Amino acid sequence: MKNKVVVITGASSGLGVEFAKQFAGRSYDLVLTARSEDKLNNLAKELEGKHGIKAHVIPIDLSQHGSAKTLHEKVVSLGLTTEILINNAGFGLFGEFEDTDIQKEVDMIEVNITALTELTKYFGKEMVVGNTGKILNVASVAAFQPGPLMAVYYATKAYVLSLSEALSNEWKDKGVKVSVLCPGATETGFSNSAELNQSKLFQGDVMQAEEVVEEAVKSLLETNKTVVIPGMKNRVLVNSVRFMPRKMVTSVVRKVQERI
């Protein structure tokens, strides 16, 4: 009997590595994709040796237009039927909008929105036809409010949340579960890549990647929950902003993210 297959984007670091480890521990075969082929190969070798699963490596840069279609075609060419898609790839950028690099922001939109949408479409259509499957899109607590000093990133995550909730409703009677993970500040290396080292946001307590992914995987496999917000502190935060005026919420986010 073949193992079930999970496709994980952004699998070379942070949450992606943890998703790979936890699904391998549950005897899933893996398709690991990210830009860093060496890191993916090392992770694949480690997990195959430890868990006796098969880990396929597909290095690809999802910021390049058309790469999502290429990734899907390569998975299909391997003869694999994808049971789970984890749309984890994504990145952010910190700074005043007039000063930030527009090319980085365009690439961010390509990865966080365009590639995620395309992969959800390609794999989701197959799952609907087969009347089975699960998709987990990684957003953020940033999805619930505007984000001064990270305006584009927050906007992309709001899109991911909205898309996921809509598709969860569309596909709930077609055998396909769609959910969205909304973590808060997490120790993943994200703060370095997003140039957030000087922001107040990552100076306090942050969750560990392992515990965020553990909650996400358990929810995906064992519950009917659509929106997964790991950590009581983050759940309280998200619920509280719903009752505050939007201008106040925006001002609070600005204060939290300002440089030290």
154 is catalytic: no
- On whether the CB atoms of residues 141 and 234 are closer than 8 A, the answer is yes
Catalytic-role residue among 39, 54, 157, 177: 157
Catalytic-role residue among 28, 39, 54, 153: 153
Helix (H, G, I), strand (E, B) or coil at 242: coil
For residues 232 and 224, what is the distance between their CA atoms, to the nearest angstrom?
A: 19
135 Rama class: left (phi>0) / alpha (psi -120 to 50) / beta:
beta
- On whether the CB atoms of residues 137 and 178 are closer than 8 A, the answer is yes
157 is catalytic: yes
For residues 235 and 212, what is the distance between their CA atoms, to the nearest angstrom?
A: 13
For residues 174 and 82, what is the distance between their CA atoms, to the nearest angstrom?
A: 16
149 Rama class: left (phi>0) / alpha (psi -120 to 50) / beta:
left
Beta strand pairing status for 176-181 and 29-34? unpaired
- On whether the CB atoms of residues 195 and 178 are closer than 8 A, the answer is no
For residues 240 and 161, what is the distance between their CA atoms, to the nearest angstrom?
A: 18
- On whether the CB atoms of residues 159 and 115 are closer than 8 A, the answer is no
Within 10 angstroms of residue 210's Cβ, the number of other Cβ atoms is 15
What residues are annotated to the active site?
153, 157
